[in-house]
Amino acid sequence: MAFKIFPLISFLFLIFILLAPSGHAKRSIPSGKKTSAFDFIKKLKGCHKGNTTKGIHELKAYLEKFGYLRYPNKTQATDDDFDDILESAIKTYQENYHIKPSGVMDDETISKMTTPRCGVPDIVNGTNYMQPRNRNHKSGSSGVHVVSHYSFFEGEPKWPPSKTHLTYRFLPNVPAVAMDPVARAFQKWQSSTHFTFARAQTDQNSDLVIGFYRGDHGDIDPFDGPGGTLAHAFAPTNGRFHYDADEQWSIGSVADAFDYETVALHEIGHLLGLRHSSVEAAIMYSEISAGQTKNLHEDDIAGIRDLYNL
Ligand SMILES: *[C@@H]1O[C@H](CO)[C@@H](O)[C@H](O)[C@H]1NC(C)=O
Ligand SMILES: *[C@@H]1O[C@H](CO)[C@@H](O)[C@H](O)[C@H]1NC(C)=O
Ligand SMILES: *[C@@H]1O[C@H](CO)[C@@H](O)[C@H](O)[C@H]1NC(C)=O
Ligand SMILES: [Zn+2]
C-alpha cells in the first residue's frame, strides 16, 4: 500500500482533501493585498455556543484540519451551528495555545487562530501532541522529573542509527534565493545533533527533498494561498518538506514576509521526527508571524536528544 510509505499524517491529509469545503480549493495569487487564508475567522468575533453565524462551518473545517474535531455526522460538519463539539474543540485549542479555555471566540483566540502556521496537525486521531507529558529526564545526578513540551509522531518514527548523514536536494521549483537559508537551517540542526547534512544535486537521489508548491499538489494537504498554512513536512523517513509558494518569503526579518530559514528550521524538525511544541519560543511551535525570526530552543534540542537518545 502506498499509504505505508507516508507515516500517519498522509492519511489525515487525505481525509482533509475529501472534506475540504470549496473555499479551501480557491487559488489566490499574491497581489500585494494583505489578505490571509485565515481571515474568515475574524468575522466570528464574539461567537459562542448557540450562535448560527455565517462562516462557522469554515471554522469547523479549520479545526478539523488541525485535528481538533471530527464530526461523525457530515451535516453537522458543514452547517453553521456553534454546537457542543465545536465549543469543546475551541477549548482544547485554547488550552494548547495557553488561552483561558472559555470556548468563546474571544480576541485572543481569534488572534492566535489567524496567525499563519505549519500545516502539520496538532492532534491526530484524538492524540493531542501539544499537551505536556511527564518525561523522565536525567538532569545531572538529581534525576528530577521535568515537564517537557516537545512531541514526536505516533510510534516515534526516526532515522535509523546507521543513518546519521542525510542528503537533501532542491526540486527545480525552489527559487535559488531560498537555498542558502535552507542550508543554514541544516547547519544549525547539525550543530545540535549527531546528524550531518549535505546538499545533493537536483537530479540525484537524496534522503530529503525540498519543494515549492501552490494549492493542490498531489497526494497531500493543499496549500491555501497567502497567509494561512505556510509549509508542511513529513515524519521520518519520508523526507519531503514543502514551502507554500503563495507566501511572501524573505531572508531574515522583513515586514509582511516569512523568513525562509526560520520556517526551514521548523520543517527540518519534522523531517527528523519532532512534532509541535506548546512552548511559544520553540522552533517547533506551530505558528509564526510575518517578520518573525527564530532559532532552535532548548525545548527543541531536548526533544531531538530524547528521540535519538543523544
Ligand atoms: C450570538 O448569539 C447571541 C444570542 O445568544 C447574539 O446576541 C449575538 O449577537 C450572536 N453573535 C454573533 C457573532 O452572531
Ligand atoms: C446529522 O445531524 C443533523 C442535524 O443535526 C440531523 O438532522 C441528522 O438526523 C443527523 N444524522 C445522523 C445520521 O445522525
Ligand atoms: C485511529 O485510531 C483508530 C482506533 O484507535 C485506528 O484503528 C486507526 O488506524 C487510527 N488512524 C490513524 C490514522 O492513526
Ligand atoms: Zn509544523
- pLDDT of the residue at 1: 39
Question: Exactly one of 154, 267, 280, 298 is catalytic; which is it?
Answer: 267
The pTM is what? 0.84
User: Which stretches of the chain score pLDDT less than 70?
Assistant: 1-34, 132-147, 219
Does 39-114 match 165-307 in CATH topology? no
Of the options 3.40.390.10, 3.30.70.920, 1.10.10.60, 3.40.190.80, the CATH number for the domain spanning 165-307? 3.40.390.10
Ligand 3 pocket mutation, candidates 1, 123, 125, 153, criterion most atoms within 8 A of CB: 125
Cα 76 to middle of ligand 1, angstroms? 19
Q: Residue 11 and residue 220: Cα distance in Å, rounded?
A: 9
**For ligand 3, atom 6: residue with the closest CA:** 125
What does DSSP assign to residue 201?
Answer: P
Report whether residue 35 contacts ligand 3, using a CB cutoff of 6 Å: no
For the purposes of burial, counting CB atoms within 10 Å of the CB of 62, is it exposed (0-12), middle (13-18) or buried (19 or more)? buried
Bridge partners, 3 (sequence order): none
What count of residues does the chain have?
310
Residue 267 known to be catalytic: yes
Closest C-alpha residue for ligand 1 atom 1: 51
Residue 9: the pLDDT is 43
Say which CATH class 39-114 falls into: mainly alpha
* Unique residue bearing C-alpha cell 475574524: 42
φ, ψ for residue 13, nearest 5 deg? -60, -40
pLDDT of residue 147: 63
CA of 47 to the centre of ligand 1 (A): 6
What Rg do the C-alpha atoms of the chain give, in angstroms?
Answer: 19
CA distances from 239 to 116, 217, 267, 271, 272 (A): 23, 16, 10, 6, 9
User: Cβ atoms within 10 A of the Cβ of 246, count?
Assistant: 23
Atom of ligand 3 nearest to the CA of 125: 1
Q: Whose CA is nearest to atom 2 of ligand 3?
A: 125
Cis check: omega of the bond before 237, within 30 degrees of 0? yes
Spans of all domains in the chain: 39-114, 165-307
Calculate how far, in angstroms, residue 118's C-alpha sits from the geometric centre of ligand 3. 23
pLDDT on residue 217: 77
- Residue 219: its pLDDT value, please? 65
